[in-house]
Structure 1
Amino acid sequence: MTMTKTIIITGAGDGLGRTVARRFAADGDRIVLLGRTLSKVQAVADELGGPSFAVECDVSQPESVRAAFSEIAKRCDHVDALINNAASYEPFSLAEATDEQVMGMVGINLAGPVLCSREALPLLRGGGKIINVSSESVGLKFAMQWLYTGTKVGLEYISNMLDRELAPEGIRVTSIRCGQMYDETKTGSSWPIDLMTRFATENAKVGIDFRNRPLTHYRSVAEAFHHVVNSPADMHIGHIELNGDRPYSDHSSEKDPA
């Protein structure tokens, strides 16, 4: 009989985080949904029902992370997995980068997983897993994505080194590098049309055509997270890379990609 697990997911209000939450909840697991906007993660918690619950948390702010995990510790005596999914994703050049963009992206994408992992340690000891979500941009080096890519490179390196450091405490760390994803709720990017056009144009110059990039569904990617968390005790998955099997142009009847 499969024992119910407790899974913490950051950035769980939509996209991949929400889909991963749904996948684990289908097994009856308790999902702790973290997000900056409480109403979004609360809506997902209400959908999942059962023992799942939402906690407001800005992963880039140490005090917010401490408060969130203090609340979690009051309700959970052990956590089976922490999935650091929250991320800031926005293209810009060095010349136009604002203070808010730089500090926000580094804070959410790089400091956030570190802060959450640190606060989760007491709950994870003795068999817990940390999953850090990385990106295909590490290998592809998209134009105008140098800072986002840099945070993901750093996160993969941190994951590898923390896996070694935390192994004696029974905690294993996995980085999952995800490619372009979509689901039926996506209605396109929230970026201004001129930024989207410029981003596509600059990447075309370096040989990257977004319309022909491989694409996969959030649900398919969620299965990989499910497998890592539920992998046998005698097997460890340090890093995996996930990519779609069809280009975006083959999904002509489906919604826009993430």
Structure 2
Amino acid sequence: MDLGLRGKRALVTGGTRGVGRGIVLALARAGVDVVTCYQQESEHVASLERELKETGGRHRVIQADLSQPVQVARLLEKVAEEWDHLDLVVNNAGAISHIPYAQLPLEEWQRIVGTNLTAAHLVIQHALPLLREGSSVISIGSKAVDAGIPLRSHYTATKAALVGLSRSLAKEFGASGIRFNVVALGVVETENLHGMPADQKELMVQRYSAKTALGRLGTPDEVAGAILWLASDLSRYVTGSTVSVDGGIS
């Protein structure tokens, strides 16, 4: 099905691994020109660059530590040098850690908030001059907001805040035709899962698959499907919403 995305322009943060990588490649295959970013050099960066080159289109993979406001501004300056507008922004870059709340250091709270929330705010704010009627802004959220998960209070707080941010911005920029939504994820198979010892991986897959209505984990491609829909005109009346891509997890 042609979603009418060919020739559109997108910024996807944190796009060299996991869910972000799946989103970047799905957009590129749909004919979207994509800029994405990464924090540290790795083989994931080089392999993504190769795949994007083989896919065709005008793409860039840029190093940027989004926990640093100056680097967020620089990233968007580079995007503006390439293009005069953006049709899609996906706030995917994020960080997580597992720490008992009573022992949660202020520095770790600030790191998670800075990466997951403040960076998304700054990306959107710096992207505003490039957004236009029909542009779509999507932030990657988490079903942890509904479930509440021990040891992740700081992470969950940032994902809940993204919902409030998106709903407020949907109201503020609705008259301009710019849409803001959140895609809330359940458990998705990524490199982190596949990098676990076999017995630990099997336990994780069984445990979380049993919590879903579909009886399995999700894939980055399935997350990308929701992003493609929210980027297209098929969702042009959807804004201020949270779309759950979680296999019916409970």
> How does the TM-score come out when normalised to structure 1?
0.82
Identify if the C-alpha distance between structure 1 residues 242 and 29 changes in structure 2 by more than 3 Å, giving closer, same or farther: same
Secondary structure in structure 2 of the residue aligned to 1:95: helix
Residue 221 of structure 1, aligned match among 213, 220, 223: 223
Secondary structure in structure 2 of the residue aligned to 1:227: helix
Deviation at 1:213?
2.8
Secondary structure in structure 2 of the residue aligned to 1:216: coil
Task: Answer yes or no: is 1:22 the counterpart of 2:22.
Answer: no
Deviation at 1:184?
7.1
Aligned position for 1:125: 132
Aligned position for 1:6: 9
Contact 2:136–2:231 (8 Å) recurs in 1: yes
Residue 60 of structure 1, aligned match among 64, 67, 87: 67
Task: Answer yes or no: is 1:101 the counterpart of 2:101.
Answer: no
Deviation at 1:71?
0.8
Q: Identify which range, 161-170 or 144-153, moves more after superposition.
A: 161-170
Contact 1:91–1:145 (8 Å) recurs in 2: yes
Secondary structure in structure 2 of the residue aligned to 1:181: coil
Identify if the C-alpha distance between structure 1 residues 101 and 13 changes in structure 2 by more than 3 Å, giving closer, same or farther: same
Aligned AA (1:58): D
Deviation at 1:239?
2.1
Aligned position for 1:144: 151
What is the rounded CA distance, in whole Å, between the counterparts of 1:31 and 1:174 in structure 2?
19
Report Cα offsets for 1:185-234 as digits up to 9, x if no partner.
Answer: 842459xx9xx9xxx9xxxxxxxx54633321121121111111013375
What is the rounded CA distance, in whole Å, between the counterparts of 1:46 and 1:124 in structure 2?
29
Report Cα offsets for 1:140-169 as digits up to 9, x if no partner.
Answer: 101111111111111111110011111222
**Larger RCO: 1 or 2 (CA < 8 Å, sep 6+):** 2
Contact 2:12–2:90 (8 Å) recurs in 1: yes
Q: How is 1:145-160 mapped onto 2 (pairs within 5 angstroms)?
A: 145-160=152-167
Identify if the C-alpha distance between structure 1 residues 189 and 152 changes in structure 2 by more than 3 Å, giving closer, same or farther: farther
RMSD across aligned positions (CA): 2.5
Task: Answer yes or no: is 1:212 the counterpart of 2:225.
Answer: no
Aligned residue pairs total 232
What is the rounded CA distance, in whole Å, between the counterparts of 2:243 and 2:52 in structure 1?
28
Aligned position for 1:175: 182
Task: Answer yes or no: is 1:114 the counterpart of 2:121.
Answer: yes
Secondary structure in structure 1 of the residue aligned to 2:194: coil
What is the rounded CA distance, in whole Å, between the counterparts of 1:163 and 1:41 in structure 2?
33
Aligned position for 1:47: 51
Q: Identify which range, 40-49 or 119-128, moves more after superposition.
A: 40-49
Residue 232 of structure 1, aligned match among 220, 223, 234: 234
Residue 142 of structure 2, aligned match among 135, 141, 166: 135
What is the rounded CA distance, in whole Å, between the counterparts of 2:161 and 2:115 in structure 1?
13
Secondary structure in structure 2 of the residue aligned to 1:232: helix
Identify if the C-alpha distance between structure 1 residues 118 and 246 changes in structure 2 by more than 3 Å, giving closer, same or farther: closer
Aligned AA (1:16): V
Deviation at 1:77?
1.1
Deviation at 1:96?
2.5
State percent identity of aligned pairs. Answer: 27
